[in-house]
Amino acid sequence: MKSHLISISDIARNLGISASTVSRALKDSPSISARTKGRVMEMAQQSGYRPNILAMSLRKQSSKTIGLIIPEIAHHFFSSVISGIEELAYASGYRVMICQSNEDQSREELNLTALLDHRVDGVLVSVSKNTLGFDHFRKVLEQGVPLVFFDRISQELATDRVVTNDYEGARAITSHLIEKGRRNIVHLAAPRYLLVGRERLRGYDQALYENNIERQSDFVLQCDNREQVLALQDEILKLAPRIDAIFAVNDFTAIAAMQLLQANGYKVPADIAIAGFGDDPIASIVTPKLTTVEQKGYEMGKESVQLLIQRIENPDKEFQPRTRVFESTVKVRESG
């Protein structure tokens, strides 16, 4: 039993003036007399008037809403991105509609159409792990809706992008391990089709190359989460006697590997050093504390909205895709 909500025309009728005058008064338009504004404001206040955003958006053809598609809300990196996004979006008068793809392409497609159906003014996306084609994103662009990718980007599409310097981060942390005297370094990598994964692998390779270390053919395993570490534990343990370090594509994988090794009598970092990527809070909680690469999630979030809002608010400006690269910094802790 939705109690009647006051509308602009209710106020107009009660005050014996026109709806447009009320609308203008509420917007503090300069063309309305102080007296009228006062009467309108007061009545609005007293009656608990609240604008109907739906009607406003429909009329203005702009919803002041940004759509966000993210693989998993639960990851610390993504939640800090969300915080950054909300911060700047709110400050700029935009709302954010958050959707999770759960790393599933079809869910991502559904999210995307739902956002477009809601007439969001722009979309922010970090692509799901299992997304292979990009046609659904192409559709967004064709509709003239601005789109910015962050972290997990598409290379096929000419859009603005905000990324971490994964290559350099991986190169730096691998170099760090080498400086510490490690030479037999295993890399636990993400699937090949994930750009982020390829970049980190490239950084790892580069560090080896710069230090004249030949990469062993069996030293790169595709393994990027806890479950896979468990699934591959035999292989990892078979490698263990020959290696002195592991660099994993993310912190969860690094920690899972670390615990596997510890459970099997290896000392970290004495026998085998461990390094991760991402600087999840858990990295500072495990024993030993995890050496890892910090990613600037919050800042990346802010930058992404910034780029997006510029596109939204300057729709006619000639399009020149921009890429913002955030440097990542090695956090040396106890594990390596």
State the residues that interact with DNA by CB under 7 A: 5, 7-9, 16-21, 23-24, 26-27, 30-36, 51-52, 55-56, 58-61
Rg (CA), the chain: 26
* Binding partner selected for residue 251 from DNA, a second copy, none, CB under the kind-specific 5 to 8 Å limit: none
C-alpha to C-alpha distance for 237 and 6, rounded to whole angstroms: 69
Q: Which of 15, 26, 41, 97 binds a second copy (CB under 8 A)?
A: 97
Residue 332 makes contact with a second copy by CB under 8 A: no
Smallest gap from residue 38 Cβ to DNA (A)? 10
Q: Restricting to residues 245-274, which ones interact with a second copy according to CB under 8 A?
A: 255, 259, 262
* Binding partner selected for residue 16 from DNA, a second copy, none, CB under the kind-specific 5 to 8 Å limit: DNA
C-alpha to C-alpha distance for 40 and 51, rounded to whole angstroms: 13
Q: Helix 8-15 and helix 34-47: axis angle, to 10°?
A: 120
C-alpha to C-alpha distance for 13 and 166, rounded to whole angstroms: 61
Q: Which residues contact 56 (CB under 8 A, 6 or more apart)?
A: none
Q: Which of 51, 133, 191, 321 binds a second copy (CB under 8 A)?
A: 51
Which residue do the tokens 């599933």 mark?
104
Q: Which residues contact 20 (CB under 8 A, 6 or more apart)?
A: none
Residue 309 makes contact with a second copy by CB under 8 A: no
Q: Which of 185, 243, 272, 286 binds a second copy (CB under 8 A)?
A: 286
Check: CB of residue 178 under 8 Å from CB of residue 185.
yes
Q: What is the side-by-side order of every strand in the sheet holding 273-275?
A: 220-222, 185-189, 245-248, 273-275
C-alpha to C-alpha distance for 40 and 17, rounded to whole angstroms: 10
Q: Which of 63, 131, 159, 306 binds a second copy (CB under 8 A)?
A: 63
Residue 113 makes contact with a second copy by CB under 8 A: yes
**Is residue 269 reached through a cis peptide bond, with omega within 30 degrees of 0 on the bond before it?**
yes
C-alpha to C-alpha distance for 247 and 257, rounded to whole angstroms: 10
Q: List Cα–Cα distances, 179 to 140, 246, 269, 316, in angstroms.
A: 47, 14, 14, 51
Total residues at interface with a second copy (CB under 8 A)? 48
Smallest gap from residue 288 Cβ to a second copy (A)? 10
Q: Which of 16, 30, 93, 144 binds a second copy (CB under 8 A)?
A: 144
Residue 143 makes contact with a second copy by CB under 8 A: yes
Residue 98 makes contact with a second copy by CB under 8 A: yes
Q: Looking at the chain, how many residues does it have?
A: 336
C-alpha to C-alpha distance for 26 and 41, rounded to whole angstroms: 7
* Binding partner selected for residue 21 from a second copy, DNA, none, CB under the kind-specific 5 to 8 Å limit: DNA
- Closer CB to a second copy, 208 or 260, in the complex: 260
Residue 325 makes contact with a second copy by CB under 8 A: no
Smallest gap from residue 80 Cβ to a second copy (A)? 8
| CA-wise closest residue to 165 among 200, 190, 194 | 200
Q: Which of 38, 191, 315, 321 binds a second copy (CB under 8 A)?
A: 315
* Binding partner selected for residue 98 from DNA, a second copy, none, CB under the kind-specific 5 to 8 Å limit: a second copy
C-alpha to C-alpha distance for 177 and 157, rounded to whole angstroms: 36
| CA-wise closest residue to 112 among 5, 213, 229, 122 | 122
Smallest gap from residue 95 Cβ to DNA (A)? 15
- Closer CB to DNA, 14 or 33, in the complex: 33
- Which residues contribute to the site for a second copy (CB under 8 A)? 1-3, 5, 48, 50-55, 57-58, 61, 63, 72-74, 76, 79-80, 82-83, 86, 95, 97-98, 100, 113-114, 116-119, 139, 142-145, 255, 259, 262, 282, 285-287, 315-316
